[in-house]
Amino acid sequence: MKTVLVSLTYLIGIGELFLAMYFWATNSKNEIRRVMAALALTTGTWVILGALLAYHIPSNVTTYYLAGTYTLGVFVVTLVFHLAVLYPNLVFRFDFFHRILLYVPALIFSFASLTSSAIVSGFSSSSQEVGTVAGGPAYVVYNLYLTLLFLASLGIIRYKIGRSDGINRKNLKLVLVSIFLGGLPSVLIDLVFPLLGIQVNYLLGVISTLFWLGFTSYIILKK
């Protein structure tokens, strides 16, 4: 089972990297396409690092993988929020200053992840199980922030649905469902279950990116 999950994770990650290249190559002047390219790139890399963690016992290399996954993770959710603001069009002011403010927390969490054990303090893995993350003192804060940002993204899309009609309304509903169903496993596995003391294979949350990123990409590309 472990080999199947890890193999599937690698395939999903590589597919998302190709998706990033496609979005960038087709129309990099469009901000929505640029954000989608960045989202697919960060998600694909995050997924591949998650797969790499599955076969590494605790070591210095594992520490770098962990730092990378938590650095990329906060940018993935930030880019989802950015996409929610942009797609299919703006309904409130979102200028350069707001864009900078949006990414400041991501940079702070990334710095904490790369330079300390504030977010994650360790990782255990064996041939029988994929692995378990040991959270640092800021682990809950990190995951709570990502959860709130994820919920805010859904809130923005829901708000836009109420102000839209026709094909835009239909597409926004589909985006709302895809992001909700795709992001919910990660929220449960990374935040809710650890708080309840429940251990779940973290790769299940990683694999869920296939659904929300793939379906959202389809909606945007079919226009």
Residue 136, amino acid? G
Where do the structural domains in the chain lie, given as residue ranges?
A: 2-221
3-class DSSP state of 184: helix
Nearest Cα neighbor of 153 from 86, 96, 219 is 86
Q: Give the domain 2-221 fold.
A: Rhopdopsin 7-helix transmembrane proteins (1.20.1070)
Residue 9, amino acid? T
Q: Say which DSSP state 190 is in.
A: I
Q: Which two tokens stand for residue 29?
A: 């002047």
Does the predicted TM-score (pTM) go above 0.85?
yes
Nearest Cα neighbor of 114 from 73, 63, 186 is 63
Tens digits of residue pLDDT in 52-111: 877 665 566 677 888 888 899 999 999 999 999 999 999 889 999 999 999 999 999 999
The Cα 90–Cα 163 span in angstroms is 11
The residue assigned the tokens 């990378």 is 68
Tens digits of residue pLDDT in 6-65: 888 888 888 889 999 999 998 878 999 999 999 999 999 988 888 887 766 556 667 788
Nearest Cα neighbor of 200 from 209, 188, 211 is 188
